[in-house]
Each structure stands twice: as structure tokens, then as C-alpha cells.
Amino acid sequence: MGKLMQIGAAAEKAGVSRQSLQYYLMVGLLEATEVSSTGRRLFDAKAVQRIKLIKKLNESGYPLRAIRDLFMEGHNDSKGPS
């Protein structure tokens, strides 16, 4: 697995504020890659790419709710029929 980084480093690498990243977590756009034993949320390079995608979609006019719905739709489709 790649190097894990804390929320501040992940936000900086993705080009968003720490507050934006915390908001993305709160509204379900993103999940931490791992949570340390001390409760720190850690992120890998794949998570940083997702943050960049969220930022790019949002800047091009997509509301965060629509982005979340898009992500959830893809996530649900990958599970197959239940």
C-alpha cells in the first residue's frame, strides 16, 4: 500500500482547504483510507485523486450533492443485483 497522509497533507496535495476535505467527509463524498489507533483519518494517493476529481467537478458547476449521487450510483452498480 502507498504512503498514508493525515488530513492536512492530503488536503494540501489535492489543492483544497482542510475544511473542504472535512466537509467532503461529513457529507459522504469521501471516506478515509484508514483510521489510526488514535483516531486520525489517513488518506492514500487514490483518495487524493478522488478529492481532486470532486474539486474539479464542483468547480465546473456540479453541486456536491449531485457529485455524491454520481459516486453512490457507481458504487451501488458495482455491487450487482441483490
pLDDT given for residue 77 in this prediction: 53
**How close are the terminal C-alpha atoms of the chain, in Å?**
31
Positive or negative, the CA dihedral 12, 40, 30, 48 is: positive
**Domains of the chain, residue spans:** 5-77
Q: How many CB atoms lie within 10 A of CB 20?
A: 17
Second CATH level (architecture) for the domain 5-77: Orthogonal Bundle (1.10)
Check whether 80 has a pLDDT greater than 80. Answer: no
**CA gap 70, 65 in Å, rounded:** 9
Query: What tens digit of pLDDT does each residue of 13-64 get?
Result: 999 999 999 999 999 999 999 999 999 999 999 999 999 999 999 999 999 9
pLDDT given for residue 76 in this prediction: 63
On whether the CB atoms of residues 69 and 42 are closer than 8 A, the answer is no
